[in-house]
Structure 1
């Protein structure tokens, strides 16, 4: 797929029996290391079984299923057996702006099992994209590929929205939770207290917590802490910053407090997490 990403769109269908060794000179081997893409990535699993880790959470995919991975999400493939998969990657510039907006609201997402008729429809759309991608000499190849791939994205997006609550059907609790999550994503490095998010949303702290807990089963504090620790995990894995430097970057001048918070949320120290995930 990297050969085509200069144009901002890449799609391919690949089959392999097992994952290659980590040191094997193969693009699939690179997916075994935790990484991020600067694209929106979609995987349609047609055959086989895949174990994938996204933001340090483990998932298993069985056919037929689809997964959307946002550019900010750290992921890696941990196991695969007898796999056939169609993979699509698109940059922000090539995505329909309306679809991009909805994709931003989907994060985080999990692998989604597909009903037979839905799987068949997505397979047909993917097949069209693959055929267009092969037409290297076509004068309008990129434009046609962009339109075809956006159609595939729309079908995937519609499938996700069909199996979850659409915006038009959200309860007031869900709408407030959605607004809180948007604020959290923008301000988690500077805003740590539930009362501050309640103030941003013109709500009482108690009511915000009631809405979020009803919608998600977890408190506002839980979401704040876990979003901060997720970012800390990503920095621990991908950077060489010290734990103290990471704490400061995430808005904690009180380094011992940050260390205690990390241990409370993850069950291990930050240094232990770094050593475990870099082995």
Structure 2
């Protein structure tokens, strides 16, 4: 396991990408030169990858993926990830911040669960490759008077193709139930407020519904009650900090909104089946 830092490194777009968009095509040689890719980190932007050739091994929030070409990979802001290995790989990358995303697409990206890499058939691979090529060409046309507008439009078109693949795989339909709507709204609120709000009542109040109805909706669509999801989201963040930083368990408990350190320790043990220190010392490699 690589050495830990005081906090999880957060990668931001470099100054030369001050418009909030970066797009390009890279061979394996570029990836090998980047130590950052192999060290655990997160982004403050949305990260889309089209793997065109070769094989890669990613770790994303403690899940490992063996990815063969051609595939789509989406890494959401704040997901902790690293590249474990890459062989004869060629890929296209798009990094884009919230401000440059169409609101509809941003909402969909926030709603999809942690997205697993998707393999592509030849038809969809060809279409997405062409869309990426357009984005790359427009990205280089910095003297164009409509540079940012045309670049944003083309990148959003590309993202719509990504989203269509994820939505197709998840078999979402146009008509969804009230249970689904409430469950999605809860998950969005949870992602934004899990440090501050730990009670189901907090989320029920936010959604203007009763606790019992919120539980009914969430359990109907996911199989688990609201409390389970709150605890799982907190524990995921705790795992990230335990594994990728050198903050003490007490510091992590405080950062996650638990003044009662002993309670947090019991919760972690109950949820994961091991103590926080055992998890920290476990070698995932």
2:27 paired residue among 7, 10, 15: 15
Unaligned runs of 5+ in 1: 21-25
Give the equivalent residue in structure 1 for 2:91. 85
1:191 and 2:203 matched = no
Q: Aligned in 2, Cα 1:193/1:167: closer, same or farther, shift over 3 Å?
A: farther
Stretch deviating more after TM superposition (258-267 or 204-213): 204-213
Q: Aligned in 2, Cα 1:167/1:257: closer, same or farther, shift over 3 Å?
A: farther
Deviation at 1:86, TM superposition (A): 0.7
Structure with greater contact order relative to length (CA < 8 Å, sep ≥ 6): 2
Give the whole-Å Cα distance in 2 for the aligned partners of 1:95 and 1:19. 26
Map 1:109-120 onto structure 2 (within 5 A): 109-120=115-126
Give the equivalent residue in structure 2 for 1:53. 59
Give the equivalent residue in structure 2 for 1:236. 242
Runs of 4+ residues deviating >6 angstroms: none
* Maintained 8 Å contact 1:49/1:82: yes
Deviation at 1:147, TM superposition (A): 2.2
Stretch deviating more after TM superposition (157-166 or 169-178): 157-166
Deviation at 1:140, TM superposition (A): 4.1
Q: Aligned in 2, Cα 1:272/1:82: closer, same or farther, shift over 3 Å?
A: same
Give the equivalent residue in structure 2 for 1:176. 182
Give the whole-Å Cα distance in 2 for the aligned partners of 1:200 and 1:150. 31
1:216 paired residue among 210, 222, 232: 222
Deviation at 1:241, TM superposition (A): 3.1
Deviation at 1:217, TM superposition (A): 2.7
1:147 paired residue among 133, 136, 153: 153
Q: TM (normalized to structure 2)?
A: 0.83
Question: RMSD across aligned C-alpha pairs, in angstroms?
Answer: 2.7
Describe the SS at the equivalent of 1:169.
coil
* Maintained 8 Å contact 2:110/2:188: no
Stretch deviating more after TM superposition (236-245 or 257-266): 236-245
Describe the SS at the equivalent of 2:274.
coil
* Maintained 8 Å contact 1:237/1:277: no
CA offsets 1:241-272 (integer angstroms, 9 cap, x no match) = 32112212222222112112212323332233
Q: Aligned in 2, Cα 1:187/1:70: closer, same or farther, shift over 3 Å?
A: same
Deviation at 1:69, TM superposition (A): 1.4
Stretch deviating more after TM superposition (261-270 or 251-260): 261-270
Q: Aligned in 2, Cα 1:181/1:203: closer, same or farther, shift over 3 Å?
A: same
Unaligned runs of 5+ in 2: 1-12
User: How many pairs were matched up?
Assistant: 273
1:127 paired residue among 133, 143, 155: 133
CA offsets 1:201-249 (integer angstroms, 9 cap, x no match) = 4545444333323312333222111100112123334544321122122
Give the whole-Å Cα distance in 1 for the aligned partners of 2:99 and 2:211. 38
* Maintained 8 Å contact 2:26/2:92: yes
Map 1:11-50 onto structure 2 (within 5 A): 11-16=23-28, 20=32, 26-27=33-34, 29-50=35-56
2:268 paired residue among 259, 262, 266: 262
Give the whole-Å Cα distance in 2 for the aligned partners of 1:135 and 1:277. 47
Q: TM (normalized to structure 1)?
A: 0.85
